Structure 1
């Protein structure tokens, strides 16, 4: 029978009985079954991305019976509302683009799976599924049936520990041990010492060096060979191709030399090369881990939540101060930051922030609510079950469900450059080796190996991620929280800045309010305060804090109309608060200030006039920004503040009033069509559409737990006057990357000169290569830290 490799997993089938299906060879029925599943669901594109990318499914009958236990399932699930469940599973077999593609298309294999998102770096998958149609156990069995069995350790889940991969440390230790011993055994060869015993046992020493090199090549270097092989199989020249080629050439040449007694070979250079490569990788891994730690556990969102004290008073605290047993007030449009139990009120929860599906779930007193849900009707009171997971909100905010076209990955730039760089390096290596074979063949091998090693674009590829990672950390410490690194690049490109007015350039705490009209009865004032309690609009919050203390009424109905107003009803009494037309009053032209009107049972009562206080440093901020950017203010209020703003702001600032949320979105869309890169700054509530449409959307946070996945950054209101410096440091980040590219290029040109002229030994090149990576990372870290010190 003709020799084949399995079409699905690539296993050699010469020693097994080949199964032919659809004119394709398979090593076993398991691989054939996976192919049939993919074919039946029109997923055979899986094999177009990589050749033989799959794994043979394992027999797991009874292995996951423990997933029938509801208590164990609760430990594993991130989210569970009785129907929709979310779980994150670790899958060791994830290794290529085909794996990502098939795992993110699980919904085509089973309709109960609504979304599946792969984190390639961590080799895990976050799956949202309908538990009424597929159980967690069946989901795990399904993953195994297509060759992606999850690794589930109950000990890890119950203690919160994560699987730690120490393979790099083991490889580094073995390579270092081999390198040291080979160098020691090579000393007589270095100094050409003539001595009887050395000459007598020289072959033995060389074979011992060969033995030490075996684990270095076949264990410590295996990732470079695997990566290079997969890249070449996919017709991609990645950065590991020249490295693997250099290691292979050194090993084969050295082995030939000792077999035929031509010399001692280059086992010292070989082991040194691998040791320093792994040392550079270890340094890189540690630095990435540090940056990840800074990002996940120290960059808290400046989101305020209202805590109800034991004295029934309301106080604003930050989310990371929430403790188990606290009672919280969740207003309309607020995000639930922790798992909790509903105590009071009607909960209408939108979990789209967690699941990506906009579907309202109704809950009653005593029901469990999960972190990430958004309350949509009035206010509720909850009892806290868990403290905030420090990285949970970051995880939700960065959910791939909410990614849009405006996000461009910076890594693709360096990857593309690295690919062309590799082609150039291989070309230089072949040309120079050919030249030295003709001129001095003894130098040809050293030149070939040195060129491959010295010109590795690792340092080149590290510049952007390390720079952006450190900038994320620095800005997070300054209370400016970016969704991801690509926002830095987008922020550096903006040329137009648009501000909302109320709650963005105005400071709610310092606003003064005056009432004109018919005096409200105690019942009406109590109903008014109870209705305002459910709203998160800046004017509602200011007015709520002004009113006297009243017993809070359990509203029968509550409704908020974006850009117009709110209504509340208790028994037969109804109250409306908002614009003049909303409450049934003629258009108000008697005042130039912001006003909120009130009607009770369709009878107009009066109006509250707000005298705005603008944020500290507003005028200075706009004067800095006007030199480089087109500025505009879009406000939903009337033109009452136009005269004040005209005096306060630069002459060319555009001022537009009576703008509805959809008007703001269209204004941004129009300017983008004219070539503008727009930064929108709003309060995250009425401005969600405008924030999503803009190139970069920033939500201002001032003791308010309102933001949406539409925004790209969250700025603490106390740092509003530092906005210019934050934009400036994003431009500085791009300059740092460009300078690090220049330094990397200079290093490569300098190193290549000595390599192609035969003046650079492979072991020296192996030392210089990780040093170049370390120097680039040190430069970007130092430069970004210096830039960060200028921030207040």
Structure 2
């Protein structure tokens, strides 16, 4: 049976409303032929278990994929750059599928071999929304793989950026280093039990045996697992800056060489357990932190937005051409929903160009033959032909991007407060060591070496680094779990300093693809509504599509004598009535003065009956704004006109600043003016027109409806649906510093206890073995517990 909720029939495949129940198969209703075809394909292959895992798990198939869309995958040069491995029969390729969203997707894509026997295997990376496919290229091409995925609702997103450097992944080397450190640490602790328990003299040969085993186990930790700290410390010293890793490296060196001396001279067992423990716990924090934010790529450029190839017309033939090969003078064929990759002049057809990503304007603009179209827009409607006047790398889009990139801040100059604490900690530590050495020089010179090295071992700032690394790592994990992905741990501290929040409007506060529609005019019957819906359904204009969806798309009624005037409106004969919808001039014959917002006028039999108003659909942000009002200053800067000023004024209040008709340079200048007044600015935007302002701001947050799709370079990525949690995210980042300081105070207590023994020159291996792990474990428990409790309270 079809899915039915509150009297409405819902598509069995994707769950969307079925405005007609005439599309059926096996007593199941579908919203379109595309969804019906996908169900039929899965049913034929015995894969209908897909629908048992989740209700309506499929992706809507109303927009048909153009035939020949993946012809560019026949290009050998492109194939070589996409395929990761190839032998005589098999090819391996990894494709990004943004439609992956649930366990049904995972199950279906793991069973691609059942849909086509030429697919040898498929493996899904759910977090990265990628599928690795192994196929028999002697019988099945890469193009056919893309077509197969598209046919079941998972069209691969293949961008120009895929031909270059791949997304960064967590370092495998660091994982191996962590594994080596963990293995050696556990075994050194085990081999140290004879020392902890105090063996009898008759069994002391075992002590010497275990000491040398510990030495052997410590060698790979010292020379291999500790490398990340050596590299970091050396890099900071070259920059004449003492970072947190420098004293850590000093502690590792002192611990290792002190232990080496004791073992070789048979004067003690050393502190190999402490040294390996330091490295092991430090690496855990580093890996945890890296895994949190390396799933996303923040430093993206225009190649991430552009497709790999475009259709070039030569000798009346459509030839797929790689974008780098497109030259000035080429004629491009741009299909519906395709991106315009280079500046050009329309030579055939009518353009409805959606520039929302570039300018922030949500309503497409009309372009006639002879007019210039800029790169970055999307064609909404029938095919157009475009004469390229600038190469891809010289287009308006790339210049706008590069303008933003030139404003990128020198983040290297910003140092964590932990580095300042570490510097003071190191100074105090060295001072205590010098005073202790001077004291024992007069009292008992034989204790100088043992007391000084014991101080450097016990009082190393590893607990400080642990508290910061583990707290930041866990906070990064908590935020990402809630749809807020930060570039790195330093961004947490920058967010904690924010005292001014600036919002872009279109696509950030509003959903660029949704409108709130209201009818104003004479009362109309249900039949008239269906006639208007039938006419609107015939047009590809975004406003007509929105109106058709609002009224309930009607494809059953026949429209005769259909006419469409580009950018003006449409008309047609439905039943016995002549219906027209469009601009005021098209419908009524005169232009409307002082028209507020966007309107679609309607006439029946040349009699004007009213109009539909289209207003921006605002996200649920009222509670978030209310929480932010009294804590930070708020601003809205928009590329749109001021038609929404009153609506925004109600949400943000009279104390907030609202600016409209703002160009990219205006947004950048506004951010700079706030910073000159001493403000720490967080900017939230979604389009390329926001790129310069995002980069200039202290914290640039890209708002996206798809966290894995293209976003401007930023410090953070926030899923649009989680914008209402922004106030909670900021509070968590502010409290993060307090957790770090609290855990640091705890570590100081441990250090005082250890130092009280160390300065006396009588610190035993047993006390060191107890202090080091207990300090580290308590820090881990405190940071994880506090940050998890905080997230439950704030989110």
Aligned residue in 2 for 1:239: 248
In structure 2, C-alpha distance between the alignment counterparts of 1:231 and 1:635, rounded to whole Å: 42
Task: Indicate if the aligned counterparts of 1:347 and 1:375 stay in contact, CA closer than 8 A.
Answer: no
Task: Provide the aligned length of Structure 1 versus Structure 2.
Answer: 539
Q: 1:722 aligns with which of 710, 725, 750?
A: 725
Please report how far the alpha carbon of residue 626 of structure 1 lies from its aligned counterpart in structure 2 after TM superposition: 2.2
In structure 2, C-alpha distance between the alignment counterparts of 1:170 and 1:242, rounded to whole Å: 21
Say if 1:183 and 1:524 are closer, same or farther in 2 by CA, change over 3 A. Answer: closer
Aligned residue in 1 for 2:460: 456
For the pair 1:481 / 2:479, whether they are aligned, the reply is: no
Say if 1:688 and 1:526 are closer, same or farther in 2 by CA, change over 3 A. Answer: farther
Task: Indicate if the aligned counterparts of 1:622 and 1:649 stay in contact, CA closer than 8 A.
Answer: yes
Task: Indicate if the aligned counterparts of 1:737 and 1:780 stay in contact, CA closer than 8 A.
Answer: yes
Aligned residue in 2 for 1:563: none
Q: 2:261 aligns with which of 237, 252, 260?
A: 252
Aligned residue in 2 for 1:775: 778
Please report how far the alpha carbon of residue 653 of structure 1 lies from its aligned counterpart in structure 2 after TM superposition: 1.7
Q: How does 1:336-355 map to 2 (within 5 A)?
A: none
Q: How does 1:515-664 map to 2 (within 5 A)?
A: 529-532=539-542, 542-543=546-547, 545-546=549-550, 549=553, 589-591=593-595, 593-595=596-598, 609-611=613-615, 614-616=618-620, 618=622, 620-664=623-667
Task: Indicate if the aligned counterparts of 1:453 and 1:769 stay in contact, CA closer than 8 A.
Answer: no
In structure 2, C-alpha distance between the alignment counterparts of 1:735 and 1:579, rounded to whole Å: 58
Task: Indicate if the aligned counterparts of 2:335 and 2:379 stay in contact, CA closer than 8 A.
Answer: no
Please report how far the alpha carbon of residue 756 of structure 1 lies from its aligned counterpart in structure 2 after TM superposition: 0.9
Aligned residue in 2 for 1:710: 713
Aligned residue in 2 for 1:428: 432
In structure 2, C-alpha distance between the alignment counterparts of 1:336 and 1:115, rounded to whole Å: 15
Aligned residue in 2 for 1:278: 276
Comparing 499-508 with 749-758, which one deviates more in the overlay?
499-508
Please report how far the alpha carbon of residue 424 of structure 1 lies from its aligned counterpart in structure 2 after TM superposition: 4.8
Comparing 218-227 with 494-503, which one deviates more in the overlay?
218-227
For the pair 1:167 / 2:180, whether they are aligned, the reply is: yes
SS in 2 for 1:739: helix
Query: What CA deviation, in whole Å up to 9, does each residue of 1:278-330 have, x standing for no partner?
Result: 24543444455456556567x999xxxxxxxxxxxxxxxxxxxxxxxxxxxxx
Please report how far the alpha carbon of residue 490 of structure 1 lies from its aligned counterpart in structure 2 after TM superposition: 1.9
Runs of at least 5 residues in structure 2 that lack an aligned partner in the other structure: 1-83, 98-162, 239-245, 312-317, 325-329, 339-374, 383-404, 523-527, 556-565, 571-580, 603-607
Query: What CA deviation, in whole Å up to 9, does each residue of 1:50-86 have, x standing for no partner?
Result: xxxxxxxxxxxxxxxx99969888659999xxxxxxx
Please report how far the alpha carbon of residue 211 of structure 1 lies from its aligned counterpart in structure 2 after TM superposition: 4.2
In structure 2, C-alpha distance between the alignment counterparts of 1:491 and 1:227, rounded to whole Å: 27
Task: Indicate if the aligned counterparts of 2:458 and 2:751 stay in contact, CA closer than 8 A.
Answer: yes
In structure 2, C-alpha distance between the alignment counterparts of 1:545 and 1:699, rounded to whole Å: 29
Say if 1:663 and 1:548 are closer, same or farther in 2 by CA, change over 3 A. Answer: farther
Aligned residue in 2 for 1:46: none
Please report how far the alpha carbon of residue 240 of structure 1 lies from its aligned counterpart in structure 2 after TM superposition: 2.5
Aligned residue in 2 for 1:11: none
Pairwise CA RMSD of aligned residues?
5.8
Aligned residue in 2 for 1:176: 189
Task: Indicate if the aligned counterparts of 2:309 and 2:322 stay in contact, CA closer than 8 A.
Answer: no
Please report how far the alpha carbon of residue 456 of structure 1 lies from its aligned counterpart in structure 2 after TM superposition: 1.0
In structure 2, C-alpha distance between the alignment counterparts of 1:275 and 1:361, rounded to whole Å: 67
Aligned residue in 1 for 2:379: 378
Please report how far the alpha carbon of residue 788 of structure 1 lies from its aligned counterpart in structure 2 after TM superposition: 0.3
Aligned residue in 2 for 1:731: 734
SS in 2 for 1:497: strand
Q: 1:512 aligns with which of 500, 505, 517?
A: 517
Say if 1:117 and 1:287 are closer, same or farther in 2 by CA, change over 3 A. Answer: closer
Aligned residue in 2 for 1:491: 495
SS in 1 for 2:672: helix
Query: What CA deviation, in whole Å up to 9, does each residue of 1:375-427 have, x standing for no partner?
Result: 8533699xxxxxxxxxxxxxxxxxxx999426468776545654664465345
Q: Using structure 2 for the length normalisation, give the TM-score.
A: 0.54
In structure 1, C-alpha distance between the alignment counterparts of 2:422 and 2:583, rounded to whole Å: 58
SS in 2 for 1:773: helix
Task: Indicate if the aligned counterparts of 2:703 and 2:720 stay in contact, CA closer than 8 A.
Answer: yes
Please report how far the alpha carbon of residue 431 of structure 1 lies from its aligned counterpart in structure 2 after TM superposition: 3.9
In structure 2, C-alpha distance between the alignment counterparts of 1:232 and 1:704, rounded to whole Å: 34
Say if 1:218 and 1:479 are closer, same or farther in 2 by CA, change over 3 A. Answer: closer
Say if 1:644 and 1:219 are closer, same or farther in 2 by CA, change over 3 A. Answer: closer
Aligned residue in 1 for 2:142: none
Q: How does 1:144-155 map to 2 (within 5 A)?
A: none
Please report how far the alpha carbon of residue 595 of structure 1 lies from its aligned counterpart in structure 2 after TM superposition: 1.4
Q: Using structure 1 for the length normalisation, give the TM-score.
A: 0.54
Aligned residue in 2 for 1:386: none
Say if 1:335 and 1:170 are closer, same or farther in 2 by CA, change over 3 A. Answer: closer
SS in 2 for 1:266: coil
Please report how far the alpha carbon of residue 364 of structure 1 lies from its aligned counterpart in structure 2 after TM superposition: 9.6
In structure 2, C-alpha distance between the alignment counterparts of 1:692 and 1:232, rounded to whole Å: 28
Query: What CA deviation, in whole Å up to 9, does each residue of 1:619-652 have, x standing for no partner?
Result: x433332212222223344433434444454221
Runs of at least 5 residues in structure 1 that lack an aligned partner in the other structure: 1-65, 80-112, 125-161, 190-197, 259-264, 302-332, 353-358, 368-373, 382-400, 533-538, 552-565, 571-576, 600-604
Q: 2:744 aligns with which of 738, 741, 746?
A: 741
In structure 2, C-alpha distance between the alignment counterparts of 1:172 and 1:633, rounded to whole Å: 54
Say if 1:350 and 1:406 are closer, same or farther in 2 by CA, change over 3 A. Answer: farther
SS in 2 for 1:187: coil
In structure 1, C-alpha distance between the alignment counterparts of 2:689 and 2:791, rounded to whole Å: 32
Aligned residue in 1 for 2:200: 188
In structure 2, C-alpha distance between the alignment counterparts of 1:541 and 1:691, rounded to whole Å: 32
In structure 2, C-alpha distance between the alignment counterparts of 1:69 and 1:215, rounded to whole Å: 43
